[in-house]
A and B are shown apart, each in its own frame.
Chain A
Amino acid sequence: MRYKDLSPAVRRSLWPIIGLFVLLLANVLISPEFFSIEIKDGRFYGSLIDVMNRAAPVALLAIGMTLVIATGGVDLSVGSVMAIAGAVSAGLIVGGVDNIAIVIGGGLLAGVAAGFVNGFLVGYFGIQPIVATLILMVAGRGIAQLINSGQIVTFHHEAFEYLGVGYLFGLPFPIILVIITFVLVQLLMRRTALGLFVEGVGANASASHYIGINDKLIKLMVYCVSGLCAAVAGMIAAADIGGSDANNAGLWLELDAILAVVIGGASLMGGRFSVFLSIIGALIIQALTITIILSGVPPKFNLLIKAAAIIVILLLQSPEFHRQIARFKKAGGAQS
């Protein structure tokens, strides 16, 4: 079977998966013990587990971001929302709340509220997504600092810390959380018609409106889901360090999340989406970081390599680039 004969869906998923595979292969070549996984006290340990665990927050953000980007939007506020959710949970714990359901519920509620604000501005106010979510990106950290009174709030709460450092079925709990979120979102999107509506709104909001789809509500929903995912990621980050740092929690992670979705092959113009491929994208980002470390390139090259990766991926997605390549090939063929 030739590449051309593959269905578009398969073709799209091929590249991210190959990319991840190549990166992992490179890691093994550089460091042969990369794939080795030990089991100690019924827990898995190893670089691979490490990659997944560290990719968890970005993967969670990417799940929400995928839906937002599928509607043709973008959510720049997820990093700040992480900080807010972490601060709310930390505040509840420090304030003497012991009930884990309330602590987590508070964090989630903060995330949904933030998502609601974003979604309302985009859906019902008609403000461009970059701008609408910029407001919370700027103000969100201020709000988180307000909740924390400008301090780094540290806490000790075993059940809550489990979110960040616990193990279930031998796997770090953040990985489990990613899996749970993925399954839930996937069920919601692909076992109901919601996914279709999300793609419809992203493909053509005006046409969707004429079909009778409530495009405003769909937009509101995806930003709420994104806020929820960010809240989970924020609580993981807070639980991980046993404290809420409003300045640094989730800093720049919105960019990694967008990057993960783009690597997963989604178009920033909206339309088709695959939550699974975005998670692969998040893994690629983390694996790339590890590859850089393992290969002995100083970590200061990290950002530069990431930037180069984005440009290459963007160019590969651009139809104009393909046309240029085709022209180039043609010219080359004519000469030879």
Chain B
Amino acid sequence: MNKKFLPLYVTSSLFVLLFLVGSVQFENFGTLRVFMNLFTDNAFLIIAAIGMTFVILSGGIDLSVGSTIALSGVIISVLLRDYGWHPIPAFAFVLVLGTLFGAAMGAIIHFYQLQPFIVTLAGMFFARGLSSVVSEESVPITHMFYDNVAMFGFELPGGAWLGSSTIIALVVLGLAIWLANFTRFGGRVYGIGGDAQSAALMGVPIARTTISVYALSSFFAALSGIVFSFYTFSGYSLAAVGVELDAIAAVVIGGTLLTGGYGYVVGTLFGVLIMGVVQTYISFDGTLSSWWTKIVIGLLLFVFIALQRYLVRRGTKA
């Protein structure tokens, strides 16, 4: 067993364990349908959390994710309703806008040597503010294309459903794994997270990489906003509040070290799935109230952070 995959084993085993516990306890829990629903319900979070994974691997953090999701939803809905755009150019528009927004944050972080959390905090205000300027009320989306995309999918055995958002999330996952582990860019991200100074001395272009990382995160957040609008059929400036925290939690539970440099994109998927399983378990139980989700996630965060601490300490001593 390779030591560096240890957090990944822990996360995936935990997911399997939780899923098994649910299956033993509840009749209809252990089905492909429930499993696929984990993806359907959390596709937007998977996408956003994957973007966050890159940021955290590089040693940063992005608090603007939730607001970016809301902003792209609002812009799409307004473009469709008031300007009669077709969804596809609207999607392209928000993706470009999101990328530029992230790049701007990355540039400010790099060139002015500011802490990522405060810059992206400002970004969070900015995106949230911009969405309420565009529209304060929830804007409904009514477009044939939307209906078609939302309905698109494949029926799997046992009434399970492989829908469009799940497909998008899985494509993003594949793309992210390719980026992180099979391109030069990925090595640079890990490198900067490991030791930015050494990376610079080894010739890694710090500025370009930092800017790209935040651009990538915001791109994924905008994409996540598009997927999110498939659920809600609306754009609302107060949507997706706190998603950045869920995304960070998923990344950490997925075994990525918050100080950067260590972790895997696949882990983040399991992080989201674990959070989804907890939620499903609570809704199956019926007597447990919804706030237990937050408490359990908080506990999981604590356990994983403590575990990381322990592993790092042991690592430095060895």
Contact = CB atoms under 8 A, between A and B. Distances in A.
A146 B296 CA distance: 12
Nearest to A74: B117
Contacts of B299: 139
B112 A320 contact: yes
A310 B118 contact: yes
Contact of A320 (B113, B121, B290, B297): B113
A300 B249 CA distance: 30
**Residue of A262, A310, A311 with most chain B CB atoms under a 10 A cut-off:** A311
A296 to B, nearest CB: 15
Interface string B31-59: 00000000000000000000000000000
Contacts of A134: 245, 248-249, 301
Contacts of B249: 134, 138
A300 B238 CA distance: 12
Interface stretch (A8-16, A204-212, A274-282, A301-309): A301-309
Nearest to B246: A138
A311 B248 CA distance: 23
A321 B112 contact: yes
A74 B63 CA distance: 14
A143 interface: yes
Contacts of A268: 115, 118
A135 B309 contact: no
B288 to A, nearest CB: 11
A139 B297 CA distance: 7
A185 B309 CA distance: 33
Interface string A121-157: 1000111101110111111111101100110000000
A26 B128 CA distance: 26
B284 interface: no
Given A268-B118, A318-B114, A300 B136 contact: yes
Contact of A141 (B122, B124, B294, B306): B294
B122 to A, nearest CB: 4
Contacts of A139: 294-295, 297-299, 301
A17 interface: no
Contacts of A131: 252, 258, 305
Nearest to B133: A300
A303 B309 contact: no
A145 B289 CA distance: 9
A103 to B, nearest CB: 23
Contacts of A294: none
B130 interface: yes
Interface residues of A, number: 46
Contacts of A130: 61, 117
Nearest to B294: A142
Contacts of B258: 128, 131
A37 interface: no
A246 B130 CA distance: 27
Nearest to B299: A139
A30 interface: no
Contacts of B298: 135-136, 138-140, 142
A255 interface: yes
B25 interface: no
A314 B112 contact: yes
A221 to B, nearest CB: 22
B133 A310 contact: no
A150 B301 contact: no
Interface residues of B, number: 43
A258 interface: yes
A319 B111 CA distance: 11
B309 A138 contact: no
A326 interface: no
B259 interface: yes
Contacts of A306: 125, 129
B15 to A, nearest CB: 19
A149 B117 contact: no
A94 interface: no
Nearest to A142: B294
A310 B125 contact: yes
B293 interface: yes
B245 to A, nearest CB: 6
A318 B112 CA distance: 6
A125 B309 CA distance: 8
Nearest to A137: B245
A315 interface: yes
A37 B289 CA distance: 49
A244 B218 CA distance: 35
Contacts of A318: 112-114
A131 B114 CA distance: 18
B122 A311 contact: yes
B108 interface: yes
A217 B104 CA distance: 39
B297 A149 contact: no
Contact of A303 (B125, B252, B306): B125
14 contacts: A121-B305, A134-B301, A135-B298, A142-B291, A142-B295, A146-B291, A150-B290, A262-B118, A303-B129, A307-B125, A308-B126, A311-B126, A320-B111, A320-B112
Interface of B: 61, 108, 111-115, 117-119, 121-126, 128-130, 132-133, 136, 245, 248-249, 252, 258-259, 289-295, 297-299, 301-302, 305-306, 309
**Among all A-B residue pairs, the 3 with the closest Cβ atoms:** A139-B298, A142-B294, A303-B129
Given A142-B292, A301-B133, 11 more contacts: A127-B309, A131-B258, A134-B249, A135-B301, A139-B298, A303-B125, A305-B129, A307-B122, A310-B122, A318-B114, A320-B113
